[in-house]
Amino acid sequence: MYYAVPSMGTGYGACLAALCLLLFLSPLVFSVSNDGLVRVGIKKRKLDQTNQVFGGIDSNGVHSARKYRLGGNVGDSDTDIIALKNYLDAQYFGEISIGSPPQKFTVIFDTGSSNLWVPSAKCHFSLACYLHPKYKSGHSSTYKKNGTSAAIHYGTGSISGYFSNDNVKVGDLVVKDQDFIEATREPGITFLAAKFDGILGLGFQEISVGKAVPVWYNMVNQGLVKQSVFSFWFNRNAEEEEGGELVFGGVDPKHFKGEHTYVPVTHKGYWQFDMGDVLVDGETTGFCSGGCSAIADSGTSLLAGPTTIITQINHAIGASGVVSQECKSVVSEYGKTILDLLESKAAPQQICSQIGLCSKDGGRDVSMIIESVVDKHNEASNGVHDEMCRVCEMAVVWMQNQIRRNETADRIFDYMNKLCDRLPSPMGESAVNCNSLASMPNVSFTVGDKTFELTPQQYVLKVGEAPVTQCISGFTALDVPPPRGPLWILGDVFMGRYHTVFDSEKMRVGFAEAA
């Protein structure tokens, strides 16, 4: 999975949680269909369970590293189709080329970040660069020097280098004079283990490092597409050769059913929109009944949300995480007080400060920090996050949910201790029993005026092959404080079920059942 976030407060994109990746060493296949569209096919290889990629979000309130029917006709010459590679339903890659003659690279098409970067021929001291193709500016007749330094920090790694300018070919479209980053350093194991070479960001320029104009902007500005729309279809059938499809300039009607449900972009930067309630087996979890924010992120493999609700979901589906002693301590020492305050109609958002576990009314003194999924237990990176306060806030929500059901105090405390057992592991993953999928509940998300449902077969990822197959919960925890949060990241687990359209002209995102 990839969950990327630029360090400068920009970009939700490429490295979330960590599933094993398929080896990506097979040759590429090109074909030109009779509809005039170029399709780039990629073959599959066996799963390599040693490759794991983790990521996170930066400390500036943005992601730092980290996977509709609009009248468009995919037969138009102004539409471009990119075939995608599916890695274990966890990563989707495609091929681009840079320069003249073209130098080929495999990239993640990431709606959670906005920069294009690939390894540079001047990357001499990072082992990752020796395992991937490198851009050679001296071999391109269309190269233009820029030289401005650039750096992007991720949850478990980073890249740094400098900007260059050249022509970029995506499918059958040639984007001229595109600024991109030549990565001269790729320290750590993040990109060493990765089977992609670089990242092509499809977010807004507001989160672009160096304010570089994104590739998608230049496609539109140079008149390469008829409509300011691109759309994703992810093939979740791991047995099929085709991994998915990215269409620039329209949609492919073969890959969705019915009409899309559209919601407006509420915060320009990521493809962010308002999301309603989250339901487990048709029952509200209560946390987002007043609304939450969400991001459609093709660069994030799993579906990330507030620890409070992810814990409830993982409990409901029988996922096992790490036992949190802080959680059980709060339940034991403060549970009765919290319950009494709730029953006396005290303001829920003030309870944890009233009992001394949070610094001020209404929550933690978070200072707009979005913490790393991977590093959230690292005191150096989240000193303002008091763990007891966080657990107290979760306990309040859990108790509220049980009080609504008229449960007794004993049953409430028993339920809460079980939720403590389901808190996600430090790396964010939780395992489930592969034989229990039939009995697991459906999990639903309210977007616009429609409820989008995920079945266990759709939210559980299978890693490995029998008899050693492991099943991983598709839900992982990420706590983003107000005013930016609570925030959900609807990654490939969600986008694989629902065909997704990104409309930059009308500033909206649309979802329809994938076909």
Any idea which residues carry the catalytic annotation? Answer: 110, 297
Amino acid letter, 429 = E
Q: Are 476 and 278 in contact (CB under 8 A)?
A: no
* Nearest C-alpha neighbor of 97 from the set 172, 15, 17: 172
Angle between helices 307-316 and 409-421 (to 10 degrees): 100
Which neighbouring-strand residues pair with 453? 444
- Partner residues linked to 323 by β-bridges: none
Handedness of CA 352, 354, 358, 364 (dihedral sign): positive
Which three-class secondary structure state does DSSP give residue 222?
coil
> Cis omega before residue 27 (within 30°)?
no
Residue 318: phi and psi, rounded to 5, are 80, 25
Reduced to 3 states, what is the DSSP secondary structure of residue 505? Answer: coil
List phi, psi (to 5°) of 310: -60, -40
- Token pair, residue 221, equals 């500005």
DSSP state of 212: P
Does residue 467 have a cis peptide bond before it, meaning omega lies within 30 degrees of 0?
yes
Give the whole-angstrom CA distance, residue 319 versus residue 311.
9
**C-alpha angle 39/43/46, rounded to 5°?**
155
Question: CA-to-CA distance for 164 and 395, rounded, in angstroms?
Answer: 50
**Sequence-ordered strand ranges (E) for 249-356:** 256-264, 267-268, 271-275, 278-280, 283-284, 292-296, 303-305
| Residue 458 three-state SS | helix
Could you give the C-alpha distances from 394 to 57, 311, 362, 489, in angstroms and in order?
Answer: 21, 9, 13, 19
Looking up tokens 């966890």 gives: 90
* Amino acid residing at 371: E
Quick one: tokens of 186? 């790729």
Q: Read out DSSP for 151-204?
A: EEE-SS-EEEEEEEEEEEEETTEEEEEEEEEEEEE--SSHHHH-S--EEEE-S-
Owner of token pair 């799993």: 302
